[in-house]
Structure 1
Amino acid sequence: MGIKLKNYKFENSNSLTNDDLKPIIKERRTWKTVNYATLWMGIIHNIPTYATVGGLIALGLSPWQTLGIIITASLILYAALTLNGHAGTKFGVPFPVLIRSSFGVIGANIPAMLRAFVAIMWFGIQTYAGSTAINILIQKLWPSWNSLGGNWSFFGLHLSGMISFLLFWALHLFTLNHGMESIKKFEVFAGPMVYLVFGGMVFWAISIAGGLGPIYSQPGKFRTFKEAFWPFVAGVTGVISIWATLILNIPDFTRFAESQEAQKKGQFLGLPGTFALFAFASITVTSGTQVAYGKPIWNIVDVLSRFDSPFVIAAAVITLCIAAMSVNVASNMVSPAYDIANLFPKYVNFKRGAYITAILAVFTFPWKTMESATNVMSFLGTIGGALGPVAGIMFADYFIIRKQELNVDDLYALNGEYTYNKGYNYRAFIATLIGAFFALIGDFIPSLKSLSNISWFVGVAIAAIVYVGLMKIDSPNIKLSTINSQK
């Protein structure tokens, strides 16, 4: 059964809301199981995910160890996503509004903008990844393409690459014409499309490697359980860190669910199984190139460059670009659009926030981040350490402190239950800083490197414990009321 929410009538003059931030009423909650399944299919099937899986192979893990990492990480992700998505479905509010219950109605802007910053970074990475595929296609059709502009470059990106980047960047803006409804429709189309390309690449990899046997018999450099344990755990953390952003803002999507069952079943169908299947394809291709060429090719665009047929390359490029747009729109435009709207609700709505996101992403210089597999994994570890504490606080606040109950009216009130001290809940900020400190300390103290290898888990656990402790020691006035929802 879905939750029947009444029609809220917050005034747009309220500095904490606009039409896109208000709770979703029952009539607009139309996302079904299939929509969440295809959402995750579209999000997972993309070039940086392939690069991350391939990067695990490049770092010395065996194909079977890598597949185990993906399956383990996807099950943990599913649990975290459905738990944090519960409040979105129950109350119909987006992430930047939901987090006001823990950080305060004003203080919530800080973690929301941290989340937005990471999403903008990822938007740039995904856009650059897709643009490199376009660049390969143009180069095959126009051999002198890469020499265009001579020695001119923009922070290391030559003119041909910059044109490809801006072309692909501009294509994303067309998906914003009808807001979240257009995203729902786009994901139904985009998700399954990628299977065509990766299915073909799997057969190609099996062919050049001489079968699946040589591919999956490669031992990797971590031969014993003791040797493989910490690399395995670090790999799980790195994979989870890819989606550390979506763990936070999954309420932006689950608020449109027709029921809790729809979001839970849909995310289960779209995440663990789909991720494992995609990982199998990525591992097979990367390890196949290792067998055939002596070293793993972790960048899928480099794999495409080895094909001679312009038709095959064109079909693959088009599909990969659709995949990159799919994940970009869903996971890297929705959240910052809401987050920026939350910061300036009087002036910025969802669509304007998305345009601002796209513009800022150009100046993140994503081609620098994508230079190597090591850069990608390092970036992911930092993300996990920074965002894990915020997730831990959200879990603790909703399930332990408030026992799944919220006063929705006060989420939009400057003087209400979530005002705390002038709009800020110092307890949440202290817990975030302590959680992030322990999660990232290994980057500065070599003897504690193991903590950084599991940064997301450390950040979640420590921040949650500290937050609950501070809320118990210095307890604010918590009403635990659900005057705006009916079970």
Structure 2
Amino acid sequence: MGLAEWLQVPIDDNAAYKNDVWTNRDLIPIPEDRRTWDILGYLGYWVVGGACISAWTTGSTMLSYGLNAQEAIGAVVVGSVVTGLLAVSCGWMGERHKIGFTVSSRFIWGMRGSYFPVLCRIFTACCWTGIQGYWGGQATRVLIGAIIPGFAHMKNTLPESAGITTNDLIGMLIWYAVFALTISIPPERMQRPFFLTFVLFAGTAFGMLAWAVAQTGGSAGPLFHTRSAAPQGRGWAFMFGVTSLLGSWGAGTLGQSDWTRYARRPRAPTLSQVLAAPLTITLTALIGIVVTSCGQAVFGEVIWNPIYMLAAIQEHYGSSPRARAGVFFASLGLVASQLAINTVLNSVSTGMDMAGLAPRYINIRRGGYVLCVVGLAINPWRLVGTANKFLTVLSGFGVFLAPMTGILLAEYLVVRKQKLRMSHLYRGDSGSIYWYWHGFNPRVVVPWLMGVWPLMPGFVAGVNGARVAAGWTRLFNLTFAVGLAVSFVCTLLVDWAFPPPHLGEEDEYHPFVEEQEEGEEKKGVEVEEIVV
């Protein structure tokens, strides 16, 4: 018992809560002293979330799929606007009730059933952490190579079957070590690190843009003068570009309440999500497309990743001191960006999800450390081997998350009309109105399955190359839209046919209130017995 108590996560001084199966410091509604985020803070959040390598490569990777530059920009604009609207809708619960995705899953899926969406999101975040960490490691490798040119050409001592070179592996291990340090920063104190990251990445993006345009004499490069070459048709390729972007940010919008619960005042995140999300994602992707287009004129090939572009620039100028200085500062922005984006989209939310699995022993910080280990262990370099495989992986995430997003929006905004019994979200017995059937809500099973099954044939075909009818592939191209819409409508139909109990009831979270009432009732019984 002594060891078990020692391993438990810390509790605030004079706390009114206790660590149990459903509760710890990071799972309760955020108290006022931890609500530190204002409008500028959320602008910084979306600047970090939108101005990153993911946004850069999402736009430019569409070029390799067959879209021309103008079509790729259009797909990014549409996808980023929808992302902003989804972020507002999914984040509204955090603004109002100060709870995140982990706890909100309890009133949707049931107290025990909530483990399923939490585990799905943990799996997704582990994949994303691995991908972002791999890019962060490559950026670190380029940064070190700018200081020590020999490191860029280090002899590879790993076998070809490893799928990664020695210097890439060293860079990734160094990046993960730095990332582990950033996990120790609590979410309510991340505004300043986010601002520093924005400054560094903005310098990288606009510096590379200035260099690229100068190389082509002020033009946007040859890709802006090419015709669409999408084999399945321009319309379907365009929609695939939109849904691949939604797949990239799907996990972030689904768990937007993880961050909006830190809002200092109501609606502080709303404006930033509506405006900053589309602007930053679109601007970053546009810069990436222009740099990629200009880079084709310089290097004779499409280099869609800015990390590879920086390495090519250093080689192009023969590792001259001037080129190495530019590459060093540019790669510094990319390294910082990867640290921030992994914190924004992965470590905080996944740490809270893991805390939901074992609240007594895991909090956001400890869950983040577990995420580091798992993200590295999945061999992420195999997920991003090619541009098309990369797009398939991004879209594939939406197969499972999009239906959950539709269910969340339908349940909270329409069925329950934003009314929750907060105290019952931390009560794991039949006395909770969210206990349903043995802790599971069977009403959500059908909407989730109905949102997933039409997308699975196309997803499987995209991953392993199996042949399926063109209709299945096109449905998969519309992953996020189809999954969200189908599950949203099915949730409304199921809840109309079988209404959840206690709709319209609401209260506040008051820890120990029920225990005190039970204690008073027990005391009253004892007094009555003495009187008798």
Same fold (TM over 0.5): yes
Taking the TM superposition and a 5 Å limit, the aligned residue runs for 1:143-154 are 143=150, 146-148=153-155, 150-152=157-159
- Report what 1:430 is aligned to: 446
Q: Shift of residue 146 of structure 1?
A: 4.3
Task: Supply the distance in 1 between the matched residues of 2:280 and 2:62 (Cα, whole angstroms).
Answer: 18
- Report what 1:44 is aligned to: 50
Q: Shift of residue 331 of structure 1?
A: 0.7
Task: Supply the distance in 2 between the matched residues of 1:412 and 1:9 (Cα, whole angstroms).
Answer: 16
More displaced stretch, 318-327 vs 158-167: 158-167
Amino acid across the alignment from 1:183: M
Amino acid across the alignment from 1:406: L
Check 1:293–1:104 CA distance in 2 against 1; reply closer, same or farther (3 A cut).
Answer: same
Instruction: Specify which of 428, 437, 446 is matched with residue 469 of structure 2.
Output: 446
- Report what 2:41 is aligned to: 35
1:326 aligns with 2:340: yes
Q: TM-score, normalised by structure 2?
A: 0.85
Instruction: Specify which of 166, 174, 177 is matched with residue 167 of structure 1.
Output: 174
Q: Shift of residue 270 of structure 1?
A: 2.1
Task: Supply the distance in 2 between the matched residues of 1:145 and 1:286 (Cα, whole angstroms).
Answer: 22
Unaligned runs of 5+ residues in structure 1 are 1-7
Deviations 1:193-228 (A, max 9, x none): 21111111111211222322545642332599x942
Secondary structure of the 2:120 match is helix
Check 1:353–1:223 CA distance in 2 against 1; reply closer, same or farther (3 A cut).
Answer: closer
Q: Shift of residue 404 of structure 1?
A: 1.3
Q: Shift of residue 9 of structure 1?
A: 7.1
Contact 2:220 2:294 in 1 (8 A): no
- Report what 2:526 is aligned to: none
Contact 1:51 1:373 in 2 (8 A): no
More displaced stretch, 31-40 vs 259-268: 259-268
Secondary structure of the 2:264 match is coil
Instruction: Specify which of 185, 195, 210 is matched with residue 178 of structure 1.
Output: 185
Q: TM-score, normalised by structure 1?
A: 0.93
Deviations 1:417-475 (A, max 9, x none): 11111111112122212211113333453232110000111111111122222222222
- Report what 1:336 is aligned to: 350
Task: Supply the distance in 1 between the matched residues of 2:333 and 2:200 (Cα, whole angstroms).
Answer: 6
Q: Percent identity?
A: 26
Instruction: Specify which of 59, 63, 74 is matched with residue 65 of structure 2.
Output: 59
Q: Shift of residue 114 of structure 1?
A: 0.7
Deviations 1:229-281 (A, max 9, x none): 11111100000110010111110000011233211012234211122211221
1:261 aligns with 2:275: no
Amino acid across the alignment from 2:46: W
Task: Supply the distance in 2 between the matched residues of 1:113 and 1:425 (Cα, whole angstroms).
Answer: 16
Contact 1:86 1:260 in 2 (8 A): no
Q: Shift of residue 409 of structure 1?
A: 0.8
Q: Shift of residue 144 of structure 1?
A: 5.5
Amino acid across the alignment from 1:458: V
Taking the TM superposition and a 5 Å limit, the aligned residue runs for 1:88-487 are 88-140=94-146, 141-143=148-150, 146-148=153-155, 150-152=157-159, 155-212=162-219, 214-215=221-222, 217-222=224-229, 227-308=233-314, 309-414=323-428, 415=430, 416-443=432-459, 444=461, 445-448=468-471, 449-484=473-508
More displaced stretch, 113-122 vs 207-216: 207-216
Contact 1:369 1:376 in 2 (8 A): yes
Deviations 1:59-84 (A, max 9, x none): 22111111111111111111111011
Task: Supply the distance in 2 between the matched residues of 1:328 and 1:178 (Cα, whole angstroms).
Answer: 13
- Report what 1:4 is aligned to: none
Check 1:462–1:223 CA distance in 2 against 1; reply closer, same or farther (3 A cut).
Answer: closer
Task: Supply the distance in 2 between the matched residues of 1:219 and 1:368 (Cα, whole angstroms).
Answer: 31
Secondary structure of the 2:228 match is coil
Contact 1:23 1:91 in 2 (8 A): yes
More displaced stretch, 177-186 vs 250-259: 177-186
Q: Shift of residue 153 of structure 1?
A: 6.5
Contact 2:255 2:349 in 1 (8 A): yes
Q: Shift of residue 161 of structure 1?
A: 1.8
Contact 2:151 2:167 in 1 (8 A): no
Amino acid across the alignment from 2:327: I
Check 1:212–1:461 CA distance in 2 against 1; reply closer, same or farther (3 A cut).
Answer: same
Deviations 1:83-114 (A, max 9, x none): 11001110001111012111111111111111
Task: Supply the distance in 1 between the matched residues of 2:158 and 2:22 (Cα, whole angstroms).
Answer: 49
Amino acid across the alignment from 1:169: Y
Task: Supply the distance in 1 between the matched residues of 2:81 and 2:439 (Cα, whole angstroms).
Answer: 36
Contact 1:39 1:270 in 2 (8 A): no
RCO higher in 1 or 2 (8 Å CA, sep ≥ 6)? 1
Amino acid across the alignment from 1:343: L
Unaligned runs of 5+ residues in structure 2 are 1-13, 315-322, 462-467, 510-532
Amino acid across the alignment from 2:50: I
More displaced stretch, 43-52 vs 349-358: 43-52
Q: Shift of residue 10 of structure 1?
A: 6.3
Give the root-mean-square deviation of aligned CA atoms.
2.1
Contact 1:10 1:17 in 2 (8 A): no
Instruction: Specify which of 92, 102, 114 is matched with residue 86 of structure 1.
Output: 92
Check 1:145–1:291 CA distance in 2 against 1; reply closer, same or farther (3 A cut).
Answer: closer
Q: Shift of residue 311 of structure 1?
A: 0.8
Check 1:439–1:10 CA distance in 2 against 1; reply closer, same or farther (3 A cut).
Answer: farther
Amino acid across the alignment from 1:175: T
Amino acid across the alignment from 2:293: S
Deviations 1:335-376 (A, max 9, x none): 110000001111111111111111111111111112111111
Contact 1:191 1:326 in 2 (8 A): no
Contact 2:207 2:330 in 1 (8 A): no
Q: Shift of residue 142 of structure 1?
A: 3.8
Amino acid across the alignment from 1:118: T
Check 1:147–1:194 CA distance in 2 against 1; reply closer, same or farther (3 A cut).
Answer: closer
Q: Shift of residue 32 of structure 1?
A: 0.6
Task: Supply the distance in 2 between the matched residues of 1:461 and 1:377 (Cα, whole angstroms).
Answer: 22
Higher-Rg member (1/2): 2
Amino acid across the alignment from 1:477: P
Task: Supply the distance in 2 between the matched residues of 1:50 and 1:432 (Cα, whole angstroms).
Answer: 32
Amino acid across the alignment from 2:118: A
More displaced stretch, 470-479 vs 355-364: 470-479
